[in-house]
Amino acid sequence: MFEFGRDLRKLFEKARESDDLGWLELISADLVEAEARRESIDAGRVSCARPFDAAMRASTLWREHAHRAGRRSSLDRAARAASEAARLATSGDQTAAAAIEAGEIHLLKFDLFGGPEALTAALADVQGLSAERPATRALAAALLARLTTRRARLSGDAGGMLNAAALLDAAIHQARGLPAMVGDVLRLDRAALALEAGVTRRDPRLLDQAGRDLRALIEAASPDYRPLTRARALALAGAGLRALAMLAKDDDALAQGRALFEAAADQFTPDHSPLDWATIQLARTDDETPLMTLAQVEALTREPGLLLGTLARERRQAAEVALAETMGDVEGLMGLHALVLRRLSSGSSRPLDWAADQIIMARITIAVGRLTGTPPRAVGLMLAEAIETAREQGAPALVERAMLAMPEGGKA
């Protein structure tokens, strides 16, 4: 994305030694991977002056690459580096820092691949830590707050959400002395939580809080230095505005939401952060994302088990079903039906893939029924099972897709 001249290269070399890794937002996913490999090699040298710090840095870099590219192999490399850091720890504080890094890896694994067991593993990493330095205690508080937020959003419990919000507030306060990226991540989580609760309850106070957090993030994140943070905040603001516009049936607000998505997508190229780009495309409504774009998103998210990849496939196939129905192509729909049925019959699907296939099967059944006048059968059961599986696996976006596919009246 960026070409570095001689002077900028010098600054880049200095940034490599900084504790604030915000500079990573300026380089592409491929360069992040190259940096992670370089740091891993340095950490393994006998001559390495600070092996613990090098192993921790290697873990952080591999984790960042996994966040951008969605590769399970990068998560595994991050976990190995964090384990090596724990082995090299020479103080209680270093042991705590390594445990926090391991928890961050489990949290990212949950965000990328779902599965409540990842959250349980992360909580096991962070609970009972005895950090010595204030900075390490602040990082532990930040991780615990983010984990609590994920669990609260999974359960939908109002009390749990209030507790998570309070922990996020406290963590943001403690993070003032940490690199800016730590506080930015916490504010994004707080905004997402407030936005979800505010839309669900139609609570203007929560919506105002989300708006303040997102506005502050967008204003502070320069497109020249923090393009990914800015894009994530813009995309979340766009999703919130779109949800409110749909509730209020406000076309002007809907157009403003689309403009925010466009602005988010303009912050970087797909190769700079494939998963961020894919997230922005999938956050749009069905009629806003061309089939060709959905195919590109699917190609970027083919990692087995990746939640975004499952969503991309479901969205692409849903678009194909809608197109076939518009053209009155019953034969084409039956071909799609046979394809999905073969995949389901293989018995090798991961839980989220299975749920996505149930949603597509329901969409095909409804479309064929509309074209042939045949009442669709078992659609409600398909979608109910998909919703249950998606909820168990921590995939609210897939739950939403299943609910959108539900026929009017919720029965079929």
Alpha helices in 19-91 (DSSP H): 29-44, 51-69, 72-88
Residue 18 pLDDT grade (very low, low, confident, very high; cuts 50, 70, 90):
low
Residue 205 has what pLDDT?
87
Q: Which long-range contacts (CB under 8 A, 24 or more apart) does 241-247 make?
A: 242/285, 243/195, 243/199, 244/199, 244/207, 247/199, 247/202
End-to-end CA distance of the chain: 49
Please say whether the beta carbons of 81 and 62 come within 8 A.
Answer: yes
- Sort 132 into a burial class: Cβ within 10 Å, 0-12 / 13-18 / 19+: middle
The whole-angstrom separation of Cα 312 and Cα 241 is 22
Q: Is the pLDDT of residue 4 over 70?
A: no
Residue 58 pLDDT grade (very low, low, confident, very high; cuts 50, 70, 90):
very high
Number of other residues whose CB lies within 10 A of the CB of residue 34: 14
The whole-angstrom separation of Cα 162 and Cα 357 is 35
- Sort 232 into a burial class: Cβ within 10 Å, 0-12 / 13-18 / 19+: buried
Query: Model-level pTM?
Result: 0.91
Provide the mean pLDDT of the chain.
89
Residue 253 has what pLDDT?
84
Residue 7 has what pLDDT?
46
- Structure tokens given for 140: 């532990």
Write out pLDDT tens, residues 210-230. Answer: 989 999 999 999 998 899 999
C-alpha closest to that of 36 among 75, 88, 87, 90: 75
The whole-angstrom separation of Cα 169 and Cα 300 is 35
229 or 412: whose pLDDT is higher? 229
Tell me how far CA of residue 258 lies from CA of 149, 193, 221, 322, in angstroms: 27, 21, 20, 22
Residue with tokens 């991780």: 143
Give the pLDDT mean for 1-14: 47
Write out pLDDT tens, residues 200-215. Answer: 888 888 888 898 999 9
- Structure tokens given for 201: 């309850």
Write out pLDDT tens, residues 104-147. Answer: 999 999 999 998 899 999 988 888 787 889 999 999 999 999 99
191, 194, 200, 203: CA torsion to nearest 10: -120
The whole-angstrom separation of Cα 235 and Cα 191 is 12
